[in-house]
Structure 1
Amino acid sequence: MHNAKGPLAGIRIVELGGVGPVPFCCMLLSDLGADVIRIDRPPGYDGGQPGDPRFNLLNRGRRSAALDLKKKEAAEAILKLAGQADALVEGFRPGVAEKLRLGPDACLAANPALVYGRMTGWGQHGPLAQAPGHDINYISLSGVLHSVGVAGGPPVIPLNLAGDFGGGSLYLALGVVSAILESKRSGKGQVVDAAMVDGSASLMTLFYGMFASGYWKDERGSNRLDSGAPWYNVYET
Structure 2
Amino acid sequence: MSRQGALAHLRIIEMAGLGPCPLAGQLLADLGAEVIVIDRASGRPDPADVNRRNKLSVALNLKSDAGREAALRLIASADALIEGFRPGVMERLGLGPEACMARNPGLVFGRMTGWGQTGPLAPRAGHDLNYMAITGSLAAIGPADGPPLPPLNLVADYGGGSMFLIFGVLAALLERGVSGKGQVVDAAIVDGVPAMMGVFHWMFHTGDWTTQRQNNMLDGGAPYYRCYETADGKAISVGPIEPQFFAELCEKAGLEHVPPHEQVNKANWPRLSSAYADVFRRRTRDEWMEIFEGSDACVAPVLTLNELEAHPHNAARGIYVRQNGVMQAAPAPRFDRTPSGPLRPPQAAGANSADVLRLAGFADEDIAAMQADGTIC
**Into which bin does the TM-score normalised by the smaller protein fall?**
over 0.9
Q: Distance in 1 between matches of 2:219 and 2:136?
A: 14
Task: Write the letter of the residue equivalent to 1:120.
Answer: T
Matches for 1:121-160 after TM superposition, within 5 Å? 121-160=114-153
2:161 aligns to what? 168
Q: Does 1:72 align with 2:72?
A: no
Q: Distance in 2 between matches of 1:204 and 1:69?
A: 39
Counterparts in 2 of 1:222 and 1:132: CA distance versus 1, 3 Å: same
Q: Deviations for 1:59-112, whole angstroms, at most 9, x for unmatched residues?
A: 111111111222221211111111111001111110010011100011111011
Report the alpha carbon displacement of residue 148 of structure 1 after superposing the two structures with TM.
0.6
Matches for 1:203-222 after TM superposition, within 5 Å? 203-222=196-215
2:188 aligns to what? 195
Which has the higher mean CA deviation after the structures are superposed, 150-159 or 113-122? 150-159
Q: Distance in 1 between matches of 2:192 and 2:86?
A: 17
Q: Distance in 1 between matches of 2:105 and 2:42?
A: 33
Report the alpha carbon displacement of residue 185 of structure 1 after superposing the two structures with TM.
2.3
Is the Cα contact below 8 Å between 1:38 and 1:62 reproduced in 2?
Answer: yes
Q: Does 1:106 align with 2:99?
A: yes
Which fold has the larger relative contact order, with Cα–Cα distance below 8 Å and residues 6 or more apart in sequence? 2
Give the TM-score taking structure 1 as reference length. Answer: 0.93
Which has the higher mean CA deviation after the structures are superposed, 137-146 or 71-80? 71-80
- Number of equivalent positions: 230
Give the TM-score taking structure 2 as reference length. Answer: 0.59
Q: Distance in 2 between matches of 1:87 and 1:215?
A: 42
Task: Write the letter of the residue equivalent to 1:15.
Answer: E
Point out 4+ residue stretches in structure 1 off by more than 6 angstroms. Answer: none
Unaligned runs of 5+ in 2: 231-377
Q: Distance in 2 between matches of 1:8 and 1:201?
A: 28
- Provide the identity percentage: 54
2:49 aligns to what? 56
Task: Write the letter of the residue equivalent to 1:81.
Answer: L
Q: Distance in 2 between matches of 1:233 and 1:150?
A: 12
Q: Does 1:90 align with 2:89?
A: no
RMSD: 1.5
Matches for 1:18-37 after TM superposition, within 5 Å? 18-37=17-36
Q: Deviations for 1:163-222, whole angstroms, at most 9, x for unmatched residues?
A: 110010000001101111111222100001111111112221111111011110111100
Is the Cα contact below 8 Å between 1:3 and 1:31 reproduced in 2?
Answer: no
Q: Distance in 2 between matches of 1:231 and 1:21?
A: 33
